[in-house]
Amino acid sequence: MIKKFIHQFASPKTYLFQVDRAYPYIFYASLFVYIGSLFWGLFLTSEDFVQGNSYRIIYLHVPASFISQSLYLAMAFASAIFLIWKVKLSAYLVKSIAPIGAVTTFIALVSGSIWGIPTWGTWWAWDARIISTLILFIMYLGLISLHDSFTDYEKADKFLAILVIVGSVNIPIIKMSVEWWSTLHQTASITVTEKPAIDASMLYPLFGSIIGFSGIVFCLVILSSKLQILLREKNKSWVKDYV
């Protein structure tokens, strides 16, 4: 029954028509929230008494870092669905998310490096959090290259799904690296179980920037998946009608 439900609602055609309808609403709402939160964080919050104004990078670095890991988890989830129920839309999504994940991980790494100069006195340290994030970036690039190296899409999808699931072991390592090892990178300021370690005036714009950035990245995933569907289903009659 679950299989029938998934196959009915996860057909590339249904997906494409649904996301096309939702896309403008998600895009403009996310853009509004992101720009508003950035304005709030960059101009309206007071200076941090330890880091000075450099702390304002938090409104760009944390959303990118959070999303880069979330996208990988989404890929692992889609990979599991593909391997269990053979839903081809899941395979398309895995391939579509990888480049967007690479972009957000790149942003997280670069923004973290720049933030490191005034805060740590160095732009790079061989620190557990930074290394595990760099591994995530290399994994995204590796997965894209691996899929592109195959001529048979079915084989490529299967290999990619297995590798994504195996690689997901890196996500808890990234998350826990600051707890397990002594690192330059600070521990998490926001956790589910404890009271946030940062003031509410700084926290609200941070939440806003995470929500807004997530929405914008979601729109990029929509575009990437749309491209993937058009490429893979180009010979279907409904695609010809769609374009």
Q: Which residues bind other proteins (CB under 8 A)?
A: 38, 42-47, 49, 51-54, 56-57, 60-61, 64, 100, 103, 106-107, 110-111, 114-115, 117-118, 201, 216, 219-220, 223-224, 226-227, 230-231, 234, 239-240, 243
**Nearer to other proteins by C-beta: 60 or 178?**
60
Rounded least distance, CB 28 to other proteins, Å: 13
Say which residue the tokens 């839903």 belong to: 87
Q: Where are the alpha helices (DSSP H) in the chain?
A: 2-9, 12-39, 58-85, 88-120, 128-149, 153-167, 170-180, 200-232, 237-242
**Nearer to other proteins by C-beta: 24 or 172?**
24
**Nearer to other proteins by C-beta: 64 or 91?**
64
User: Six-digit token pair at 99?
Assistant: 């480049």
Rounded least distance, CB 38 to other proteins, Å: 8
Q: Are 228 and 95 in contact (CB under 8 A)?
A: yes
Query: Considering just the CA atoms, what is the radius of gyration of the chain in Å?
Result: 20
| Of 33, 62, 60, the residue nearest 190 (C-alpha) | 62
Rounded least distance, CB 183 to other proteins, Å: 21
CA dist 121 → 47, 78, 91, 181 (Å) = 19, 40, 43, 20
**Nearer to other proteins by C-beta: 30 or 81?**
30
Rounded least distance, CB 45 to other proteins, Å: 6
| Of 97, 85, 137, 82, the residue nearest 113 (C-alpha) | 137
Rounded least distance, CB 98 to other proteins, Å: 13
**Nearer to other proteins by C-beta: 24 or 118?**
118
**Nearer to other proteins by C-beta: 40 or 81?**
40
Q: Are 31 and 216 in contact (CB under 8 A)?
A: yes
Rounded least distance, CB 100 to other proteins, Å: 7
